[in-house]
Amino acid sequence: MDMVNIKINNIPLSVPAGYTVLEAAREAGINIPTLCYLKDINEIGACRMCVVEIKGARSLMAACVYPVNEGMEVFTNTPKVLESRKTTLELLLSVHNRKCLTCSRSGACELQQLCNELGVESADRFDGAMPDTRRDESTAYLVRDNSKCILCRRCVAACADQHVAVIGPNSRGFDTHIGCMFERDLADVACVACGQCIVACPTGALTERDQCDEVLDAINDPSKYVVVQTAPSIRATLGECFGMPVGSNVEGKMVAALRRVGFDKVFDTDFGADLTIMEEAHEFLGRVQNGGVLPMITSCSPGWVKFCEHYYPDLLPHLSTCKSPQSMTGAMIKSWFAEKEGIDPKNIVSVSIMPCTAKKFETGRDGMSGAGEGLQDTDISLTTRELARLIRRCRIDFNRLPDEKFDEAMGEATGAAVIFGATGGVMEAALRTAADVLENRSVENVDYHEIRGTEGIKEAVYHIAGMDVKVAAVSGLKNADAVLKKIQSGEADYQFVEIMCCPGGCVNGGGQPVQPADVRNFTDLKAERAKALYDEDKNLPLRKSHESPLIKKVYAEYLGEPGSHKAHELLHTHYVPRKRF
């Protein structure tokens, strides 16, 4: 690697030749502030928060895009630099909704943090006319409040990176604002509900539709039996909301917190993940053996499913008919569990804690009423962020909680279910079961390393029972689009494909904790969070879904066989083509 010698604040450094000034300063222990910059997604040098003085340059330069070169001398904290950054913040505040005390991002807002750090004492120095703004509450999953937008374009870049690009800058000059084409509501365009725009936003301009009050109302209603389930990835991310290191596994504290919030039962969505594998593996084997539509593509990511319905409706027959683990668990709560406990399912409120905003959309989809007409599989879906707010609202000291276990009825799961939260995890879990069935024996190797990792597209060929099974694990809709084009043209010869909407899978979902840019740009959040899941899988006694005693019991007592008529009624669904414009 070619290295260059530079100085930053008179500190000599030797850094790779391809570095920007921002990256080089990080090596010297200096965090240059940014607002618009997101590595590999939004590198436009537009907000001017990262300006620095470079010896010999006539003006201040944007550190996020300015490359280092031999002998360069950089100064990051001169009076000229500090005054420029402070003025930029004051100009942003002059057209910003400053009702910070009631903003969901208060305390975790990058604009607020920079104002504190840079000593902004007056928020009204440039006060004058305010742009007309609107609040878009048209969807069931997301709220846009342009009065808090700073036009950093990070949401626009995130949406484009997802190959959706349904939002962008409208109008010009003082009237510039972020919106959909022709000023349509978000509900009227082909948004896939992934929420990646939310986790990219530095302020409170984009938030999930908060349903904490609905949950508390249900818990405080004596006629309701309120059950909660938590997705596999939540245990690896919730701790970040309470100051714990990225990748901390807080399963035990999470369960304890949910009990103290007041839920009647606390279940593990991993149970539904194991069920998903049983049904999905059976469906895959049936397609292979009976000449069904191949490749079969997974269907547990509702953002991906919605993307396919909008953009590739001709490929819908390739999707597995299996519901997601959220909906499978919800259906079993209102059928099998309700019958066992003698509870009228109409009195059950089924709540899920999920890593993505698309799960909110999924709860209202047609075909998500497995337990009977009028009985939604899941009534309310909260994101990880909402759960953290709910815990704080109930004044629960999360970090001091003991570790507790899930309730037994749906609290036992295998390692195959745990890894659902990482890209490639669903595929690996399915292969563990499919290999045993096809080989008619217990295959010792359960680690499919070729489809692990955070790369957007991973391919592998596995030799199982005398045949080659070519698979692909894909995350992020830009990568999904590339693979789907190959499937559409006949160029790809996969038998099984996993697609996850969010880059890196559920651990990087749009409902996960928001990390500031200086963390996102220099920490591999996807890898750190996924590691917690693979570590748990490695240490569990059972790592194949079909070996779970609870799963065996459910099929023996209630469902019969995988793919049975009852299983199809409860655990399978259908899809519909949707308009793109």
Indicate the Cα dihedral angle 370, 371, 373, 379, nearest 10°.
Answer: -80
Identify the pLDDT of residue 158: 98
Rounded Cα distance, 1 and 350, in Å: 55
Identify the pLDDT of residue 580: 86
What are the tens digits of pLDDT across the range 519-560? 999 999 999 999 999 999 999 999 999 999 999 999 999 999
Residues 357, 198 contacting (CB under 8 angstroms): yes
Identify the pLDDT of residue 43: 96
Identify the pLDDT of residue 122: 82
Residues 77, 89 contacting (CB under 8 angstroms): no
Size of the chain in residues? 581
What does DSSP assign to residue 400? G
Which long-range contacts does 332-336 make (Cβ < 8 Å, 24+ apart)?
332/271, 332/272, 332/275, 332/410, 332/554, 332/570, 333/227, 333/229, 333/267, 333/410, 334/370, 334/371, 334/372, 334/375, 334/377, 335/370, 335/371, 335/558, 335/570, 336/554, 336/557, 336/558
Helices 270-290 and 425-439 meet at what angle, rounded to 10?
50
Q: Residues of the chain whose pLDDT is less than 50?
A: none
- 3-state SS record for 289-315: HHCCCCCEECCCCHHHHHHHHHHCHHH
What are the tens digits of pLDDT across the range 197-207? 999 999 999 99
Burial 538-572 (b: 16+ CB within 10 A, else e): eeeebbbbbbbebbeebbeebbeebbbeebeebbb
Nearest to 360 by CA among 198, 477, 526, 217: 198
Q: Write phi, then psi, for 496 (nearest 5 degrees).
A: -145, 130
Identify the pLDDT of residue 121: 87
Give the helix ranges, DSSP H, for 440-524: 477-489, 517-520
Identify the pLDDT of residue 551: 97
Rounded Cα distance, 54 and 73, in Å: 6
Identify the pLDDT of residue 124: 87
Identify the pLDDT of residue 323: 98
- Would you say the C-alpha torsion 517, 477, 508, 456 has a positive or negative sign? negative
pTM for the whole thing? Answer: 0.96
Identify the pLDDT of residue 387: 98
